[in-house]
Amino acid sequence: MTKTDTSSRAAAAGPAAGPTTLEELERRVTAHRDRPSYGHDALIACDRLVRIFTTDGVEVQALQGLDLLVKEGELMALVGASGSGKSTLMNILAGLDVPTAGAARVAGCDLLAMDGKARLRYRREVVGFVWQQTARNLLPYLTAAQNVALPMQLKGRAKQKTERAEELLAMLGIAEIRDRRPHQLSGGQQQRVAIAVALANNPAVLLADEPTGELDSATGEQVFAAFRRANEELGTTIVIVTHDQAVATEVRRTVAIRDGRTSSEVLRRTEVDDQGKESLVAREYAMLDRAGRLQLPAEYTEALGMEHRVALELEQDHIGVWPDDAER
Ligand SMILES: Nc1ncnc2c1ncn2[C@@H]1O[C@H](COP(=O)(O)OP(=O)(O)OP(=O)(O)O)[C@@H](O)[C@H]1O
């Protein structure tokens, strides 16, 4: 696609591309200037996030300008092929790693500007996390209730800790295992205790990296139900990285990451037909990044033989993308 190509086609596209008056231009400039900043109302806002790893002189760009907004109270899933950058993003959001460039803000905390003390407070109080490896989430010599109480003790909330630990275990349906140590629990029970631990200090965000990865599907469902419960009862914002199709399709929003960027999103909503029958409707969206770049799904471009150059047409309510017709 060349510039001339786009503008000549756009010029032919009718009213949307019609002549522009000075007033119209001024109005657009003012509207642009007065626009709220990117992600101003989001709880998690990643803006052109870059993470470059250098090992033995070789650079790997794990995140290549990733944009992501998550609203307060959302329960959403992140999916993507191995190596696409999911864990890198989660480690940054968890405050365990620092991005190379870009901006990332979680619950008002600037993840690039925090000093060591602020980072520690962030990890203890603002975010909670649940890892795939069940053993990584819990201390083996403490009981379930003691594991849940520990983060509160570290924060200096020793008084309420026993009561809150029991409340959380009960909410997640595992009150009866409070006095057992991790090795006396099933994988699913361990992950539910891990969720209670992560929720102990009432974090703004709960992050989970493949939390059902080591579990069979029935147990995975129970663990996912515990996340849903936490989201509904406590209003905690939850981001789950998953390969598990069942989890990915159970949430209202699934964001796909490809080559270190968010590439597409599936939104699901419940529709009620004339007979009052409910059904879940899913729609896939492509992501337009802040530089105006769009990743077209490979199966679409391959089906139409689109490779390097495509033709664009601006219409009143959509933009058309056509295979290259320059040589015809
Ligand atoms: N500490 C590191 N040092 C060097 N390269 C790294 C490091 N961590 C991640 N990478 C590289 O960055 C890219 C993204 O890795 P990441 O672990 O974020 O992917 P992922 O989507 O979580 O994959 P998976 O689903 O397999 O866990 C990969 O190419 C990986 O090899």
Q: What is the CATH number of the domain that holds 95?
A: 3.40.50.300
Q: Which parts of the chain have pLDDT scores under 50? A: 1-17
**In this structure, are 87 and 228 located in the same domain?**
yes
**In this structure, are 102 and 26 located in the same domain?**
no
Q: What is the pLDDT of residue 18?
A: 56
**In this structure, are 16 and 125 located in the same domain?**
no
Amino acid making up residue 66: L
Does residue 236 fall inside a structural domain?
Answer: yes
Neighbours of 300 (CB within 10 A): 11
Number of domains in the chain: 2
Number of H helices, E strands in the chain: 11, 13
Cα three-residue angle 81-84-85, rounded to 5 degrees: 135
Does residue 59 fall inside a structural domain?
Answer: no
User: Rg of the chain over CA atoms, in angstroms?
Assistant: 24
Find the 228 Cα to ligand 1 centroid distance in Å.
Answer: 28
**In this structure, are 165 and 149 located in the same domain?**
yes
User: Which residue is associated with the tokens 């664009």?
Assistant: 312
**In this structure, are 224 and 243 located in the same domain?**
yes
Q: Is 62 in the pocket of ligand 1 (CB under 6 A)?
A: yes
Q: Is 80 in the pocket of ligand 1 (CB under 6 A)?
A: yes
Contact 74, 235 (CB under 8 A): no
Contact 112, 99 (CB under 8 A): yes
DSSP H stretches of helix in the chain: 3-11, 22-33, 86-93, 116-121, 134-137, 144-154, 161-171, 187-199, 217-234, 245-250, 298-303
- Bridge partners, residue 53, by sequence: 60
Atom of ligand 1 nearest to the CA of 87: 22
**In this structure, are 167 and 18 located in the same domain?**
no
From 51, 54, 88, 207, the mutation candidate for ligand 1 (largest count of ligand atoms within 8 A of CB) is: 88
Q: Is 60 in the pocket of ligand 1 (CB under 6 A)?
A: yes
Does residue 237 fall inside a structural domain?
Answer: yes
Q: What is the pLDDT of residue 6?
A: 41
**In this structure, are 257 and 297 located in the same domain?**
no
Q: What is the pLDDT of residue 19?
A: 62
Does residue 277 fall inside a structural domain?
Answer: no
Find the 65 Cα to ligand 1 centroid distance in Å.
Answer: 15
Atom of ligand 1 nearest to the CA of 54: 4
User: Which residue is associated with the tokens 């275990």?
Assistant: 169
Residue nearest (by alpha carbon) to ligand 1 atom 12: 62
Atom of ligand 1 nearest to the CA of 55: 4
Residue nearest (by alpha carbon) to ligand 1 atom 3: 53
Find the 62 Cα to ligand 1 centroid distance in Å.
Answer: 6
Domain that holds residue 234: 44-52+70-268
Q: Is 55 in the pocket of ligand 1 (CB under 6 A)?
A: yes
Does residue 242 fall inside a structural domain?
Answer: yes
Q: What is the pTM of this model?
A: 0.83
Q: Is 258 in the pocket of ligand 1 (CB under 6 A)?
A: no
Does residue 62 fall inside a structural domain?
Answer: no
Residue nearest (by alpha carbon) to ligand 1 atom 10: 62
Q: What is the pLDDT of residue 158?
A: 67
**In this structure, are 110 and 131 located in the same domain?**
yes
**In this structure, are 198 and 303 located in the same domain?**
no
Residues in the chain: 328
Alpha-carbon dihedral sign for residues 238, 243, 246, 251: positive
ipTM confidence score: 0.96
Find the 83 Cα to ligand 1 centroid distance in Å.
Answer: 5
CA–CA separation, 145 and 182 (whole Å) = 11
Residue nearest (by alpha carbon) to ligand 1 atom 26: 82
**In this structure, are 179 and 204 located in the same domain?**
yes
Does residue 275 fall inside a structural domain?
Answer: no
Does residue 284 fall inside a structural domain?
Answer: no
Q: What is the pLDDT of residue 209?
A: 93
**In this structure, are 303 and 244 located in the same domain?**
no
**In this structure, are 178 and 304 located in the same domain?**
no
Q: What is the pLDDT of residue 2?
A: 39
Q: What is the pLDDT of residue 44?
A: 96
